[in-house]
Amino acid sequence: MKKIIVILVMLSVVAFANRDGGPYIGVGYGNSSISDDDNYFHIKDDSDTGYKIYAGAYMNKYFSVELSYLSDMTYTDINGTALEFGFIDVNVQAHYPFYYDKFDLYGKFGVGKVRHDGEGFGYIFGAGISLRFDEVFSGKIGYDYMNFGVDTIEDKYDTADKHLGIHYLFIAVEVQF
C-alpha cells in the first residue's frame, strides 16, 4: 500500500509540475563510505563505489520532489564478512539558481528504506551544485548522507537502537523534460 501511495504522489507531482520546472531523470556514480565508529561491525573496508538512479519534478525553479535509488554497496568487517547496503528514498529539495539560472545550489531532506539482511527505515539529507548546459541537460556534483537503524546478530539480547551512516559523494547527468 505504501508503494502505491508513493507512486501516486510522484505521478501527481509530475502531472502538475510547472513548465518553468518540469519532470527530470538522472543517473550518477560516486564513492561511499560507511561510519559506525567501530561500535557495531568493526568495519575493515569502509568504502565502495555505487550508482544512483533518480527521477523527480521541479515544481518551480526553487522546489523539487525526487525519488532515488542507490545501488547496493559492499563493505567488509574485520572478520571478512561482506555487509551490503542499498537505499531507496523520497526527498524534497530546495534550490537556489544563480548566474542566469545556469548554476543551482540545492539542499535536500527525505526518508527512505534501506536493504541490509532485511529492510529498515532511515533518513537522507544532502547538498550539491548543478550546472545547466542547456534547457534539457545538466551536470551535478552532490553529497548525500543516509542515516538508518540496523539490527545485529552479534548480541541478540542487546535491543538498543544501532545507527549507521553512509556518506555518498557523486557526479550525475540529468535530463529535464
Q: How many CB atoms lie within 10 A of CB 97?
A: 15
- Ordered by where they begin, the domains of the chain are 2-176 (2.40.160.20)
Give me the average pLDDT of each 10-residue run along the chain (177 residues): 60 51 93 76 80 94 94 85 88 94 94 80 93 92 89 50 84 95
pLDDT reported for residue 82: 84
3-state secondary structure string, 26-75? EEEEEEEEEECCCCCCCEEECEEEEEEEEEEEEEECCEEEEEEEEEEEEE
CB 6 within 8 A of CB 67: yes
pLDDT reported for residue 4: 67
With CA atoms as reference, report the closest residue to 134 among 102, 105, 106, 104. Answer: 102
Tell me what percent of the residues of the chain surpass a pLDDT of 90. 47
Single-letter amino acid code for the residue at 76: T
